[in-house]
Structure formats: structure tokens, C-alpha cells
A and B are shown apart, each in its own frame.
Chain A
Amino acid sequence: MQLFWHFLLLGCVAVGGVSTVMPDMYRYVVDENAMVSARQFSDLYALAQAAPGPNALWVTLLGLQAQGWLGALATTLGILVPATAFSLLASTLHARHADAPLALAVRRGLAPVALGFMLASGWLLLRSIGHDWRGYLIALVALVLAMGTRLNPLWLLAAGAAAGMAGLI
């Protein structure tokens, strides 16, 4: 139940997507409650990127690892309930246009904060495979390819897995 409430709170502030609140999920399940290890946390995130559907569903894997099936239900609903409620609210208010003053303030004002959180999430993932220059190098190559080409990220993940298996990291 604790897990559910924490994720529900995070779900309410996850403006810009679930990867913005990832550092706090880490703080809660790894640092404070030791439900999963740092490495497991990142493993599950990476694994979920290779599955179809919204990337945010990796919280389901995290919940499953932390507390079994009930944990999976807690983390998934924690994120989805606020998202559903706010989306329905926006729909019923006929808020078709994202240029009302409050909407603009949220979008423009919170964007830098959300991006700072996202960068912290990326940093956290890198940290979990140890401070290894080969890990940084693979991440850098992936970053450049993702920004410079239109390759499906799935190929990059597969290449990363192959590089790992070949002992490059």
C-alpha cells in the first residue's frame, strides 16, 4: 500500500512523462526501502525499452520485482490513475487548445524542470553500471545515433545487448 501511495503521488507530478520522476522511484525503492538493487532497477528499465507499448510501463516490472503481483498492480495503477483522471478532466473541460495561460505556464515553465529531472534519470542509469568508460562510450554512441539518425531504438538496444555479451562492457 505504501508503494501505491508513493507512486500515486509521483504520478500526479509526472509532467513530461514518467522518466521525469524516475530518480524519486529510485530513491524510494532502492535507497530507502531496499526493495530492489540499483542494478535490478536499471536492468528492468532497459528490459522494458525492448517491449512494445508506452515506455512508462516499466514501472510494472519494477513493482513486480519489488513486491510481486500486488506490487506490479500498485506501481502501475499509481501512475495510470492520475494520468487517466487528468486526461478525462482535460477532455471534459474541452481543453482542446494547449495555449490557455495556465497551460502555457505549465508547458514553458515546467519544461526546464522536467528536463533537469530527465537528465538526472539518464545519469542514474549510467551510474548503475559502474563508472566504466566503456559504458559511457556505448551510451555516447547511442545518444549520437539517436539524435542523428532515424534508426529504430530497438536496433540500438539489440546492438547494446550484443556489445555487452561480447564482453565490451
Chain B
Amino acid sequence: MSEAQKSAREIFLTFTRIGASGFGGVNFWIRRVLVQEKRWITDREYLEGLALGQILPGPNVYNLTVMLGYRFGGVRGALAAAGGLLGAPLAMLLVLGVLYQHYSALPVLQRALAGMIAVAAGLLLANALSLAAALPRRVRPWGFLVLAFAGVGVMRWPLLYVMGVLAPFAMASVWRR
């Protein structure tokens, strides 16, 4: 691994490339560019960063990006990485948003979007299920999963309340010294 600091400009440009290439998943590109091409981090560091990113609130790849940016160039590096990652996608999304406001009433677009919603739902559920497959085969974790789904998905209670009640018990149930 190389601990050498990078310039904010270099960090920004690298993450701009990652963000703009990240069709269908940024993770793949972070690994490809930072681990395989530039060798800024090792595969192991990538996986550790990802694990850490998953327990912080917010988009996992974004958290990983901020942490990597900080490591390469301090707070300036973190902001450069975040700005690079988000710049191009945000510009494109805003264009999509404006187009949507103008054309969403078109019947053909409505039908295309209905198909995309069904696929997006399938993708989201696939992601959740493959993560759920890694849960221990015990009653408690699955009990918490069902309660969380029922509270928010079926009863439609505010998520903060459901989380506030479940989180302490869920964390206590796995606490080890």
C-alpha cells in the first residue's frame, strides 16, 4: 500500500472518473480504479473500508469515498473525493429530473416507467435477500427483521419510532465484551 498523500486535484479527478463510470454500481469501479489500476489501496483495505462504510449512516459507497479521500488528502481530500464522485451523476440526475417534469404525462413513458419500477423493486429485493441470506439462522435476527418490516411496511409507523424501539434490543442481543 502507498500512504503517500495525493493532491486534491488528483483525488477529485480520480473520483470523478469513478462516479461517471458507475452505471449500475459504484463499488465495482472503486475497486477497479483504486485497487487494480492505481494501487492506492489494497484489496483488503478496500474490504475493510467497505465494512466500515456499511455501519455508518448514509450511502455505503459515499462513506467509503469520504474515508478514502480523507486518507489520501485530509479534509480537503475528503471533500475533493465527495465532489468528484457526485458531480457528474448529480448533473445528469438534474437533467433527468427536469425532463421528467416535462414529459412524465406521456402514456408511453408512464408504461416504460412502470416496467422500470417493477425491475427496480426486484433489484432492491434481490439485494436485501442476498444480504439476509448471510444472517445467522436463529430466531432473534429474523424476528427483528420481521418486526422492522411489519412496523414500517405494513403498519406504516414512523421509521424513527420503530428504529428507536428495535435498535437497542437488536444491538443488546448481539453485544459481546
* Chain A contacts to B: CB under 8 angstroms: 9-19, 21, 23-24, 27, 31, 40, 42-58, 60-61, 64-65, 72, 76, 79-80, 82-84, 86-88, 90-92, 95-98, 101, 103-126, 128-129, 135-136, 138-144, 146-147, 152-154, 156-157, 159-165, 167-169
Contacts and interface: CB of A to CB of B under 8 A. Distances in A.
A138 B63 CA distance: 32
A47 B56 contact: no
B105 to A, nearest CB: 11
B36 interface: no
Interface string B22-56: 11111000000000000000000000100111111
Interface of B: 19-26, 48, 51-63, 66-67, 70-71, 75, 78, 82, 85-86, 88-90, 92-94, 96-98, 100-101, 104, 108, 111-132, 135, 141-154, 156, 158-160, 163, 166-167, 170-177
A22 to B, nearest CB: 9
A84 B58 CA distance: 8
A61 B122 contact: no
Candidate in A50, A116, A140, A154 with the most chain B CB atoms within 10 angstroms: A116
- B-side interface mostly: helix
B48 A91 contact: no
B137 to A, nearest CB: 12
A11 to B, nearest CB: 6
Given A15-B56, A46-B116, A107-B54, A112 B144 contact: yes
A68 to B, nearest CB: 10
A109 B53 CA distance: 16
B103 to A, nearest CB: 11
B55 A103 contact: yes
B57 A83 contact: yes
Contacts of A119: 125, 128, 145, 149, 153
B93 A13 contact: no
B114 A169 contact: yes
29 contacts: A10-B160, A13-B160, A31-B156, A47-B113, A51-B96, A53-B85, A53-B86, A53-B93, A54-B26, A65-B100, A65-B101, A82-B57, A98-B55, A101-B176, A111-B131, A112-B132, A112-B142, A115-B135, A116-B149, A126-B121, A129-B118, A139-B125, A142-B118, A142-B122, A147-B129, A152-B23, A160-B115, A160-B116, A165-B112
Top 7 A-B residue pairs of the complex, sorted by shortest distance between their CB atoms: A53-B89, A83-B58, A164-B115, A116-B148, A142-B122, A120-B153, A160-B119
